Structure 1
């Protein structure tokens, strides 16, 4: 029997006492995977930490991470947990309000262990959508096109509560510049692992009950029509801000990225200082894509219609 790397479940919490017991129970029901839980709380006032400390006493498998004090938000909490986790394992991100199916961790670990250990690798998967009472409401959509860097630049198809990294991917994420404001840990991991030429595995079989209860930090829709309508309602401003932030941060991660990724970034870094005709040419050459045809059309409209912005040199007043 092949010896599997240690599996560290990274749980970030904030006022999660309402749903947390069911998530913890689903961890104890995992089959075929040996795990430990490393948790960080972001200042709960509802008894969340009491639940976690009791769970640790009962199971001997849950430990509070030693991380910087103070509020860190979702992104900061998960990045702190990744840094605090012991080296040499697999790392599964965990939300406080879902329920994991019994084979979730075993499937993830089997997929990652089949990949070369020295290559960054990312596993993620589909979710069974449920309401606050765990009543099924549908399935998250399957990707229609391959996962990759040209997709990651304009769309996140990696849902954090399904995300598992190998040790090489963990080292990559921790060696990279800090993620920009407005992004989340799952999207940043997708960008870095795909940009470094890492292995990406999307599991089409749902591994979790993804609870949608109105207070989610991030949610999803089973219907493509509803997802499209939600994107149009939000408008382009938030997307464009995150897109710019990713480009700026990734520009500082050059040595960690593949030559192909660096070439793509060189096409896009000055994007918003260019004429619309030149933007169109670079979009075609860069080959960016979202998963659906309609999503692609909206993406291109937003990128081409965005107002021009001065370059960094112009903003700084030039060389004088």
Structure 2
């Protein structure tokens, strides 16, 4: 697709679903995909070696659909992030959507995303709010609505374009596919954080829909839970002050450096200065964060980021060892 061609709201979409031991919940998610008002989709499920009923549920769903609409592949067995990156590496050309195994999509999720993407020329990345629900899908609360600007200065230090809602038009998906190899090699913490960094760095249009797109099921096996409670926000501030956050930043930076040619010139300069500050002692790193204008979506989160920098928690001396 030409970079200046607008997304057709009726375009076929490839849904990428990473599964692992999801027998309790995955059937409801598959049913919600089948119920989409946007009918032109294909689904690729990468199963990471489930030893419960997950493979049979997926196979039965595939058999119930038109031939070729659902494809099942074997995952790399290296965790959810690597499973999603594996899916991305084998995705065909065209728009793509990430899918978790335990959510339930609203019927207009794909249609609304494609309609939003259709207003933009060139690469575009759509994400949305969710309705947080308990393990039985009883709604609890809407997810947070982010009010600060989306962009590379935010993406370098915060993941806010939730993977379970993310849809990418064809040009944005092509950029991600070109960048996925280094992401797989650097063992990143989160595929959706990386995708936000790549699309923001490449100058894609970034859309965060204030209208929720799905029921976000919370249960003990959730890879990443809700972030709207005092307890959850406190935990995330604690993560900023822990050493592992600096390792995640270093791994993301290393993966982006390999594909820097995909980034806008200004964002390459930001990336270089960000990499340098990760090697600096605390006061110097905090001062450089301020000069670069990096920020999180809340004042508390940004303050915690600067506190982590000042305490030397972002510093990476020598090759990093990312912590999953």
- Kept in 1, the 8 Å contact 2:44–2:72? The answer is yes
Residue matched to 2:182 = 178
Partner of 2:71: 64
Distance 2:215 2:291 in 1: 39
CA gap of 1:272–1:39, structure 2 versus 1, over 3 A, is closer
- Could you tell me which residue of structure 1 aligns to residue 268 of structure 2? 262
Note the 1:149-228 alignment, pairs <5 A. 149-176=152-179, 177-179=181-183, 180-223=186-229, 225-228=230-233
**1:292-303 aligned within 5 A:** 292-303=298-309
The within-5 A match list for 1:63-102 is 63-66=70-73, 70-87=76-93, 89-102=94-107
Distance 1:54 1:142 in 2: 37
Query: Which has the larger displacement, 158-167 or 25-34?
Result: 25-34
CA 1:65–1:111: 2 relative to 1, 3 Å: same
Residue 144 (structure 1) aligned with residue 147 (structure 2): yes
Cα contact 1:159–1:186 (8 A) shared by 2: yes
Asked which structure has the greater CA Rg, the reply is 1
Write the distance in 2 (CA, Å) between the matches of 1:83 and 1:232. 33
| Alignment partners' CA distance in 1, 2:96 and 2:192 | 12
Q: 1:289 aligns with which of 295, 302, 310?
A: 295
* Distance in 2 separating the partners of 1:271 and 1:70: 33
Contact 2:127 2:207 survives alignment (8 Å) = yes
Distance 1:273 1:239 in 2: 14
For 1:81 and 1:277, locate their aligned partners in 2 and report how far apart those are by CA, in whole Å.
Answer: 41
User: Are the counterparts in 2 of residues 40 and 65 from structure 1 also a CA contact under 8 Å?
Assistant: yes
* TM-score when normalising by structure 1: 0.90
RMSD (CA atoms) = 1.9
CA contact (8 A) 1:20 1:96 kept: yes
> In structure 2, what is the Cα distance between the partners aligned to 1:167 and 1:79?
17
TM-score for the superposition, normalised by structure 2: 0.88
Bigger mean CA offset, 188-197 vs 78-87 = 78-87
1:105 matches 2:104 = no
Structure 1 unaligned residues grouped into runs of 5+: 313-320
